Amino acid sequence: MENFILSFQELGIGDVHKVGGKNASLGEMYQKLNPLGINIPNGFAVSAEGYRYFVSENKLGTFIQNELSQLDVKEFSNLQKISTAIKKRILEGEMPLILAKQIADSYRKLCELEGRELDVAVRSSATAEDLPGASFAGLHDSFLNISGEEKLNETVQRCFASLYNARAIKYRHDKGFDSAEIALSVGVQMMVRSDLACSGVTFSIDPASGFENIVLITGCWGLGENIVQGAVIPDEFLVFKPSLEKKKRAIVSKKMGSKTKTMIYSDRGGVQNLDTEPEKQKSWVLSEDEVEILARWAIQIEQHYHMPMDIEWAKDGNSGKLFIVQARPETVHADRDQFVMKEFKLLEKGKLLTTGYAIGNGITSGKVKILDSPAEADQLKEGEILLTEITNPDWDPVMKKAVAIITTKGGRTSHAAIVAREMGALAIVGAETALDTLRNGDVITLDTSAGKIGNVYQGELKWKVSEHNFKGINLPETKPMFILTDPEKAFDLSFFPNQGVGLMRMEFVINNTIRVHPMALVHFDQLKNEEEKAQIDAICSAYSDKKEYFIDSLSQAVATIAAAFYPKDVILRMSDFKTNEYANLLGGRQFEPKEENPMLGFRGASRYGHDRYREGFRLECLAVKRVREDMGLENVKVMIPFCRTPEEGRSVIKLMREFGLKQGEKGLEIYVMAEIPSNVILAEEFVKIFDGFSIGSNDLTQLTLGVDRDSEVLSELFDENNPAVKWMIAEVIRKVKSAGKKIGLCGQAPSDNPKFAEFLIGLGIDSISFNPDSFIKGIEQMNRAEKQKLDREN
């Protein structure tokens, strides 16, 4: 008698033809990774031969082939009808006694091993499933909380029928698989009681960019189906692999999701979805130690399979143990050409209507079509933007018609996100306000090019697309570096040929992420504006110490950029707001003087030791210390802006040491901006204090020529090519290089003007930093300038 059951102990990755990709992977992990300390729930698989035996005994083969032969492969108009007919016949079939007994006996044996009646998860695993390039994500059915032999056999038969779900038939056709060659295995796995705890999805790379040094972990309360279906916005953690290897604090970023639903087992069998208690919505689903355990497991699984992996995890509420319940190859970046990148940029400003998690990189526009279910697919016209609450695999054919997708629920590992990536479509998921702000027929522009957050704007805006091909591009000897503001773009930009970040502007993070004046956090109890006080209290609700909100938020932003470019230098400029800009932060007006000329006022180094800001600067330093020392990202250097005198420079260095940032310790370098004529005139004094210089060409031009760079009337006089400005630049480069220190320049001129790039390189400047949109052009100018210099020397 043929045995149709294979235990996980018998299975390995070479058994895909026997039990499908999902079950082969579970067996492989149970055998090879369980001994390494990765918890994998035990179970068994009903083989593909068991499915074929069922089909043969019920004489279904010819019927299925006849039905499929009638499929309309152009419009798929009869897809649902054919799917329903095949599934009905399979469900009406009889489970052969031999197969039913083997399933029951294996279930009983599993129960005996555990010493109790088990609830099990019953999962479909097609023989072409979970292969690189084809995820088959969610196309076939899985069932949770199944117990008893009779119920188990009935559920296995339901899995068999799901091989002919309409979405599965369509997917196989699109991917070029022959349905006659594919069979379905069924995995039966001990249930982890995550309904009493939490669960989620882990990617061993960043799924949005393909950045390989990050592990992404998402989690929600209860069963993980809510994440897969996109029914909730989960907690999200980014873990940096090198920090983990160095046993440093490895979570570089975390974002709390709303987690509004909790899926639990139902007393009647199956599951039910309940509203999450408010206090649990505001609590992290995992501790930092648990996040790091899952990240380590993800790395081990990735190393075992020699490819990026998409992993499902669950925490048992009874034992408190974490488990891996599924792992499959990450399919989106398998065939990505990392040398080619498209860059999108909006050319117009529009009214922002809603935001969510950005999936894909691009911009598109179209009319909104709101659908409540895939049954309304005929209402969606080609080129329209689909808006719905959540999607499941039944939506796949509908999603392919849409020019873009918006869901009000879900995170970056939801079904909508995974399928959109696989299709190469643009999507914004978790746009919670979309149904409040968008109506059927609205013309909108959807922008997912600005990082992790996607934006929806009113109307049809203009944009441009640039394609960059890095293949064969040579880096100049002079270091090309980035000017960066937004951490959300860091992973994507890391793929550009570069030598790191020459200027990270802290102000962007404070203004866009933190939004609160640091001194308002230090002196929260003294705030006079009750409305702002309430806003700040709400923003900091997850922190018992409001100062920690600033330190944590800033350190995450800096760490994200530092991780993206590790081990290359990331030079972080300490805050350089003017008083009028600081005053616009929440709580800011109470702590800022009103100045007639803020550009030349209380800014930069002058603020740091002053009573008005000293404690705010301390928070900045503590954030940097956390990134460098706790997280191990020692590639972060710091830079002091608008330092008017050497005495001021020495004072700041001393203050930083007091706040835990000691120059030279663990390679800490402290740079200064060369942007004031005094920095040039007294450069011999400044080089004794600082480790390096960065020429701020905008302020240096302004202060050399006495021209307000924001003045429209004087705009023609503002010119970095003015002989006086070029003399200043040449002089500071000469003095700094003579002292053996490093000097770079941050500014637009070298990318716009080949002669300016030639001028800088001729002087022996060490680095030039560019904004991302002019980076490739800047490298081209640098290469051209270096060649001309070489030609002259020869």
Cα–Cα distance between 514 and 535 in angstroms, integer?
Answer: 12
Place of tokens 């300016």: 756
Q: Are 26 and 326 in contact (CB under 8 A)?
A: yes
* Secondary structure of residue 275 in the 3-state scheme: strand
Helices (H), 490-611: 490-493, 506-509, 518-522, 530-539, 546-565, 579-583, 605-608
The amino acid present at 464, given as its one-letter code, is K
Set 220, 540, 643, 746: catalytic member? 746
Cα–Cα distance between 787 and 781 in angstroms, integer?
Answer: 10
Cα–Cα distance between 743 and 736 in angstroms, integer?
Answer: 7
The amino acid present at 509, given as its one-letter code, is V
Cα–Cα distance between 75 and 397 in angstroms, integer?
Answer: 11
CA atoms within 13 A on the CB side of 561: 29
Tokens of 768: 């030039």
Q: Are 565 and 496 in contact (CB under 8 A)?
A: no
Cα–Cα distance between 279 and 538 in angstroms, integer?
Answer: 14
Its sign, for the CA torsion 392, 398, 400, 405, is negative
Catalytic status, residue 746: yes
Q: Are 392 and 138 in contact (CB under 8 A)?
A: yes
- For 195-216, letters b (16+ CB in 10 Å) and e give bebbbbbbbbbbbbbbbebbbb
Chain CA centroid to CA 765, Å: 35
Burial class, 129, CB count within 10 angstroms (exposed 0-12 / middle 13-18 / buried 19+): buried
Say how many residues make up the chain.
794
Catalytic status, residue 17: no
Which backbone phi and psi does 449 adopt, to 5 degrees?
-95, -5
8-state DSSP, 375: G
Cα–Cα distance between 223 and 259 in angstroms, integer?
Answer: 12
Place of tokens 């003294």: 526
Tokens of 331: 């399919």
Please state whether 63 falls in left (phi above 0), alpha (psi between -120 and 50) or beta.
Answer: alpha
Set 140, 333, 415, 517: catalytic member? 415
Chain CA centroid to CA 121, Å: 30
CA distances 152 to 46, 147, 275, 456, Å, are: 11, 7, 29, 46
8-state DSSP, 134: B
Q: Are 585 and 511 in contact (CB under 8 A)?
A: yes
Cα–Cα distance between 365 and 385 in angstroms, integer?
Answer: 8
Tokens of 678: 């005094």
Cα–Cα distance between 239 and 296 in angstroms, integer?
Answer: 9
- For 240-263, letters b (16+ CB in 10 Å) and e give bbebbeeeebbbbbbbbbbbbbbb
**Residues involved in catalysis:** 415, 746
